[in-house]
Amino acid sequence: MKRFFLLIFCASFLTVFSVLAQGRVWSVEKANQWGKEHPWYCGVNYIPANAINYTAMWDKTSFSPDVIDREMKLMKKLGMNCARVVMQYVVYEDDPAYFLRTFDTFLGICDKYGVKVMPIFFDDCAFGANTDPVVGKQPEPLEGWYAWAWSPSPGYSMVIDERTHVKLEKYVKDVMTHFKDDNRIFMWDLYNEPTNTTMPERSWPLLRKVFAWAREVNPSQPITSGMWNGVKELDDFLSANSDIITFHCYASKEETEKVMRKHLALGRPVICTEWMNRVAQSTIPDILPMFKENHVGCMMWGLVNGKTQTHLCWGHRPEHLPYKGVWQHDIYKGDFTPYDAKEIELIKQMTK
C-alpha cells in the first residue's frame, strides 16, 4: 500500500513539475521588464547579398562567413544592433549537426559586431515557382524578377501535410533547446507571415503547434510572431500568444503611426519587424524618427542589395525592364556605397 501511494505521489509530482516547467505567455509586467532591460532595437531583415534565398544562406555549398562578416561590419558602422533572419528547415533536415554549427558561427559573427539576432523558424512567403526548397546549389537570379527563387521554410508541402509535423517539432525543439539561454539571440520569431499563401487556412495547424512546441522548451528569450495583414482572427491569436508584440507595416507615415499605436495599446513592448518600402511611402526620413520617439523597435528590409533583387517592386517581372523607379528596399549597393547618403546619415543619427 505504501508503495502504491508513493507511486501516486511521484506521478502527481512529475505532472505538476511538467506543468510548471512548460512556459506560458509572459505577463505584461514581465514583458515590460524585458523592455526596460533591453535597448531600442534598430536593424534589418538580413540576407547576405550573395544569397538568392535563405536556403543558399545556410547551405553547405554556399554559406559565406566572410561575406556575412563584411556586411555585419556595415551594421556596426550604422549603429544598428539587431538582425532578423529566416532559418531553413531543409538544411537542418539534411544535417542537423552541421546546421547547429553553422547557425552558431553566424551568431558569433553577429556578436563580434554587437548585433543581436531574431531567428525565424517558418516562413510562408514565396515570390516565384519555388515553394518546396531543396538543399544544394541554388538557382541564379532571373534578372528583373523580384525574389525569383525565394524559398519558404519548410515549404508548402510540409506545411499542409500534418503527417510531417513530427519532423518539424524535432527541428524547433532541437534548435531552440540548443540556444534557449544564448544572449546572442534577443527574441524568437516563430513564423513569418503565417497564412501568406494561396491556401491561408492550411497554415493554422502548424502555427498553433509551433507556439506549443516553443512553450514546451520555455526559452529565456521572448517568443513572438508578427501581425502583418490586419485579419482579426490572426491578429487576435498572435497578440494573445506573443510575449512581445511584433508587426509588419509597409505604408505611409500616417498609416504606420495608426497601426503602431493600435499595437502599443496592448501595453507590451512593440517592434516593427518589417518596414521600409520607398515605393509605398514607407521611408526612412518619415518613419525612423517616429519609431525612435515612441521607443518602438524597427527592422527594415534590407541591407546590401544582391541576388534577391529586392530593389525592384513586388511582382516585378523581366518584361518590365529596365526598372527606372526608386528602390523599394535595401540601403547599400553591392559595392557598399549608399543608395542614398542622407538615409545613412539619418540612421547613424538615430542610433547614436
pLDDT per residue as tens, the chain (352 positions): 444 334 444 443 433 333 334 689 999 999 999 999 999 999 999 999 999 999 999 999 999 999 999 999 999 999 999 999 999 999 999 999 999 999 999 999 999 999 999 999 999 999 988 899 999 999 999 999 999 999 999 999 999 999 999 999 999 999 999 999 999 999 999 999 999 998 999 999 999 999 999 999 999 999 999 999 999 999 999 999 999 999 999 999 999 999 999 999 999 999 999 999 999 999 999 999 999 999 999 999 999 999 999 999 999 999 999 999 999 999 999 999 999 999 999 999 999 9
CB 107 within 8 A of CB 142: no
Domain membership flag for residue 96:
yes
Phi, psi (rounded to 5 degrees) for 214 = -65, -40
CA atoms 173, 177, 178, 182: torsion sign: positive
- What pLDDT score does 221 carry? 98
286: domain CATH number is: 3.20.20.80
Number of domains comprising the chain? 1
Alpha-carbon gap, residue 352 to 348, rounded angstroms: 6
Give the domain extent around 265: 40-350
Position 316 in a domain:
yes
Does residue 14 sit within a domain? no
E strands in 20-137: 42-45, 82-86, 116-123
Cα–Cα distance list, 48 to 267, 308, 328 (Å)? 35, 9, 17
CA distance 218 to 121: 16
Within-domain flag for 282: yes
Q: Is residue 25 part of a domain?
A: no
- In a domain, residue 249? The reply is yes
In a domain, 33, yes or no: no
Please report whether residue 8 resides in a domain.
no
pLDDT of 17: 37
All three cell numbers of 214, joined, read 516553443
The whole-number pLDDT of residue 12 equals 39
CA distance 346 to 338: 12
